[in-house]
């Protein structure tokens, strides 16, 4: 009997792990695309922003006189302190990690890290003002708000806006190109390719405007949100006002009522809007993919790529398929972030600590999808002649126009216009109708001459209503 092979026992390290190979695609295959987010949403960025919050809190305490006896900082000392987060780099990351191995507490490690810097110069007398009256979440919530705001405003929003502008530009360029619409997958009232792209650009733009108006909340009020340590240490200071001014001084919206944690509701709101943008973009991907499949778009650029390993003729719409997958991953992460972060047991639990470390991947997959869609759209050319052939093969779509004109004529007093829907249904349901058949039907209806001539001149390609003009409604 053949022995069943056994898997090797797991080890603490492998050849690939020792080589520093990334576990996930964002830090491996797609690193170049998502690299701008590292500046904002990485673990190193989190620690840098923690240092920034600690520094600014110290500057704020000394500049406001909130703690009697604490001397004011000189301009040079303020500059020296602010240089610590501004110059935060690889050596600082390594040093902070070393301190954390001793403290087994990330925020306490940041406190000790900053105190080390202060003891090296003229600030040794103020070290005990670092992290004064703070709980870890006072630092963390502000650090995350600064991180997410930077990632959204400096990286994600510019990329998303460029995409929307690209789709809007295509909509304007293709505004007059007639397109056979398909409702429920069936031939329907014609539109224009530009108008359909304009719908998607409008939807995406609306979500962008919501995201542009997002609030980023923060708090600094102690272990259970009561300013207990603050008032016990210095009862004469208006700590509520000191807190408000500090949070707003960071460019954030002050949250006056919290438990130990800032409630994260603003994050849930933001992530829901970004996820909705993702889902509209997913809709764009599936529609464009279908138009490529129908031949309405030709993938004419980038043909040096391999479409299929075995079929030389193929150029696959891989950019849109890749984007679909990444949008789904991003939206799933954003959904779980939003649903988890709004709940914390009583005054504090740590579910948010682990959950927020997935903000970077959520935005990373979203940014990767945007990049893929932009590259995919840039490789497309519309093929009006293919669309024209489909329109000419579906004259039955004019049934709607004819029966509507009959209704209007009947209301205006023209005799013989009864049962217009039923008569067009009998002519068109379940069968193809060509131009001569439709024109002959119209000629025999007894319509007023101007109406008859207008309908006889109509073709599926000209029956697009106000589609082209509607593109002008794009913001």
The domain locations on the chain are 33-133, 137-303+315-383, 394-467
Hey, which bits of 275-317 come out as E strands? Answer: 297-299
Residue 184 pLDDT greater than 70, yes or no: yes
308 a catalytic residue: yes
Confidence of residue 429 (pLDDT cuts 50, 70, 90): confident
Question: For residue 2, what pLDDT is reported?
Answer: 56
pLDDT by residue (tens digit) across 256-270?
999 999 999 999 999
184 a catalytic residue: yes
Alpha helices of 295-398 — where are they, by DSSP H? 318-341, 351-356, 359-378, 384-392
Residue 295 pLDDT greater than 70, yes or no: yes
The catalytically annotated residue of 63, 293, 308, 462 is: 308
Tokens of 77: 């000392």
Mean pLDDT of 301-318: 63
Residue 84 pLDDT greater than 60, yes or no: yes
Poorest-pLDDT segment among 267-271, 327-331, 342-346: 342-346
Residue 13 pLDDT greater than 90, yes or no: no
Mean pLDDT of 164-172: 98
Tokens of 184: 């429920």
Confidence of residue 4 (pLDDT cuts 50, 70, 90): low
Name the DSSP letter for residue 156.
I
Hey, which bits of 135-224 come out as E strands? Answer: 178-183, 186-192, 217-218
pTM: 0.92
CATH number of 394-467: 1.10.40.30
Contact 138, 223 (CB under 8 A): no
Distance CA 376, CA 381 (A): 11
Question: For residue 6, what pLDDT is reported?
Answer: 63
Same fold flag, 137-303+315-383 and 394-467: no
Mean pLDDT of 100-128: 94
The catalytically annotated residue of 184, 309, 313, 354 is: 184
Which of the listed CATH numbers 3.40.50.1220, 3.30.200.20, 3.40.630.30, 1.10.275.10 matches domain 33-133? 1.10.275.10
Mean pLDDT of 227-245: 98
Confidence of residue 403 (pLDDT cuts 50, 70, 90): very high
CA quadruple 105, 111, 112, 116: dihedral, nearest 10: 160
Q: What CATH topology corresponds to 137-303+315-383? A: Fumarase C; Chain A, domain 2 (1.20.200)
Residue 370 pLDDT greater than 90, yes or no: yes
């Amino acid at each position: 009997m053949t022995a069943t092979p056994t898997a090797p026992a797991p080890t603490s390290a492998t050849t690939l792990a020792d080589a520093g190979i990334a576990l996930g695609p964002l830090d491996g295959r797609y690193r170049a695309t998502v690299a701008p987010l590292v500046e904002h949403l990485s673990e190193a960025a989190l620690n840098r922003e923690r240092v920034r919050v600690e520094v600014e809190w110290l500057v704020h305490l000394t500049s406001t006189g909130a703690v009697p006896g604490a001397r004011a900082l000189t301009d040079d000392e303020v500059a020296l302190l602010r240089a610590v987060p501004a110059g935060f780099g690889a050596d600082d990351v390594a040093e902070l990690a070393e301190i954390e191995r001793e403290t087994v507490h990330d925020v306490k490690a940041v406190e000790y890290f900053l105190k080390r810097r202060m003891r090296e110069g003229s600030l040794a007398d103020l070290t005990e003002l670092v992290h004064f009256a703070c709980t870890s979440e006072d630092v963390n919530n502000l650090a995350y708000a600064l991180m997410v705001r930077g990632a959204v405003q400096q990286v994600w929003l510019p990329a998303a806006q460029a995409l929307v502008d690209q789709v809007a530009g295509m909509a304007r360029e293709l505004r007059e190109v007639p397109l056979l619409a398909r409702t429920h997958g069936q031939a329907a009232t014609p539109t224009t390719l530009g108008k359909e792209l304009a719908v998607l650009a409008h939807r995406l733009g609306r979500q962008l405007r919501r995201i542009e108006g997002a609030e980023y909340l923060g708090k600094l009020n102690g272990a259970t949100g009561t300013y207990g340590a603050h008032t016990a240490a210095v009862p004469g200071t208006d700590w509520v006002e000191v807190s408000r001014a500090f949070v707003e001084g960071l460019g954030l919206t002050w949250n006056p009522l919290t438990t130990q944690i800032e409630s994260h509701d603003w994050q849930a709101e933001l992530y829901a809007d970004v996820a909705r943008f993702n889902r509209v973009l997913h809709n764009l991907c599936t529609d464009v993919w279908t138009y490529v499949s129908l031949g309405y778009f030709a993938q004419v650029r980038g043909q040096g790529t391999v479409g299929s390993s075995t079929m030389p003729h193929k150029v696959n719409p891989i950019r849109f398929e890749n984007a679909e997958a990444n949008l789904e991953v991003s939206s799933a992460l954003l959904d779980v972030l939003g649903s988890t972060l709004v709940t914390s047991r009583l005054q504090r639990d740590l579910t948010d600590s682990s959950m927020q470390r997935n903000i970077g991947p959520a935005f990373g997959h979203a940014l990767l999808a945007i990049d893929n869609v932009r590259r995919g759209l840039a490789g497309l050319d519309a093929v009006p002649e293919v669309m024209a052939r489909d329109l000419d093969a579906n004259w039955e779509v004019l049934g709607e126009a004819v029966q509507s004109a009959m209704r209007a004529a009947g209301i205006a007093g023209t005799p013989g216009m009864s049962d217009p829907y039923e008569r067009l249904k009998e002519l068109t349901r379940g069968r193809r109708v060509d131009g001569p058949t439709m024109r002959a039907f119209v000629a025999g209806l007894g319509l007023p001459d101007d109406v008859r001539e207008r309908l006889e001149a109509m073709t599926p390609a000209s029956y697009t209503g106000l589609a082209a003009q509607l593109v002008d409604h794009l913001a």
